Chains A and B, each alone.
Chain A
Amino acid sequence: MRKKRKIESRYYIVIILFLILLILGIWMYFVREKRNPNPVEQVLQDTFLFVQKIVSKPFHFVTDKIQESKDKNKIYEKYKELEKQIEQVQAVSAKNAELESELQEMKSLLKFNQTLTESSYLNATVVLRNMDSWNQTITVDQGKKQGVEEDMAVVTSQGIIGYVLHTSYFNSTVKLLTSVDENHKVSVKIEGNEGYIYGLLSSYDTKTGYYKIEGIAENTEIKEGANVITTGLGNTFPAGILLGTVIQIQKDHFDLARTVLVKPSVNFDEIRYVTILKK
């Protein structure tokens, strides 16, 4: 019988090194955030999420019932609160009509067309969260079929939460603003005493839970508690969506610019239903 030839140990080292490099190469190609999943992946993901929606129904039913009973206890307080608000509604709606006409006039002057009022809405339910802990994304149950496209803004009733990273046929992945990236810096404005002050949302501090807004000039006055809203500059986020409120104003090391800490208006831990703003 022929003896099996033994491979020398140095060849093993070469093969292992080659394999490591190959795997690193594959990872470098496939671990890109902006990678579009191929059709097979999309079908697999859609199928899994379809089954998952059915499987998770009993869990959601129970949690919804618990939430419902909690809400029932607060119903009287909410009723009183709403009663007060109704009195203010008439005044607000009159003011709103006036502002609307002013806005139309100004838009025609500026030819500025990306505002929240012009976006059409698409409601979606969160079906999954990314569990790899390093990137904060959620998956919602609306996809290409419903007209969702990449880079569309995603909001909740409390404010902006992120943008559509990629879509499959029936689902979409939304990247949250808690993982702010260089390619999608959000242009924002802060309510000041003499009009708006502009800045860029640069990061999110996971320890404090606040956004950081940078690029604000020293000679501007910002008050704590001021609202921060999107400007509409850039292609992703429409104007006029609430981001949060100013919590603290910090000076930089050279005393030239300031960093504003903003408390998000959205509780990112409790996102169940979202709205996609179609362009």
Chain B
Amino acid sequence: MIFSIFLEATFSIYIPFFTHWCSLLFTLVSMLFCSKYFFHSKHYYEFCFGIGILYDVVFTNTLFFHGFLFILIGFLYQQILHWLSYTWYNFLLTILFMIGVYRILSYLILILVDNMAWSLGRLLQVLVSSILCNALYGSLLYGVGYLFKNRKHHWKRKF
């Protein structure tokens, strides 16, 4: 999780502002990835809130914005996980869906509370640009998680 936050912060310098292909959300993706380690646990929402507050302080000039938003995203994700099995395909689809929900919600909230101008084109651009690199990062996390799981079983059998 911490690695993802630092990675997002480092790569943010190299990613153009108005790109059509890459809008990083590594923190959110890894927060969703971590949910399987908190399955059916209320501590996950505390975790989401903490990550959201850190995200607020570090990346934006707001407070409690991502804190509450990440709780909502985490809650929705936990509900979806009840219905789906944990496979790479499902994981990818659900994180992309949650990224979409996050983008739309954050935009609507900012319009509501921060007098931001509505622009469907801008929203669509941000949605499209959030797909590729976050899907790749999600797959990478899934792969790493899968490897570690297998390695753990291997060690358990060995000793």
Contacts and interface: CB of A to CB of B under 8 A. Distances in A.
A130 B59 contact: yes
Interface in A18-55: 23-24, 26-28, 30-33, 35, 37, 41, 44-45, 48-49, 51-52, 55
Interface in A105-155: 126-137
Interface in B95-129: 103, 106-107, 109-110, 112-114, 116, 121-122, 125-126
B106 A134 contact: yes
Q: Determine the main DSSP class of B at the interface with A.
A: helix
Interface of B: 6, 8-19, 23-25, 54, 57-65, 68, 103, 106-107, 109-110, 112-114, 116, 121-122, 125-126
B13 A27 contact: no
A132 to B, nearest CB: 5
Contacts of B17: 129, 136, 176, 178, 268-269
Contacts of A32: 114
3 A-B pairs with the lowest CB-CB distances in the bound complex, closest first = A269-B16, A56-B10, A129-B12
Contacts of A59: 10-11
Contacts, number: 109
B9 A132 contact: no
A173 B61 contact: yes
Contact of A128 (B59, B113, B126): B59
B8 A131 contact: yes
A128 B64 contact: no
B13 A207 contact: no
Nearest to B71: A23
A24 B113 contact: yes
A257 B116 CA distance: 26
Contacts of B9: 48, 52, 56, 127-128
Contacts of A128: 9, 12-13, 58-59
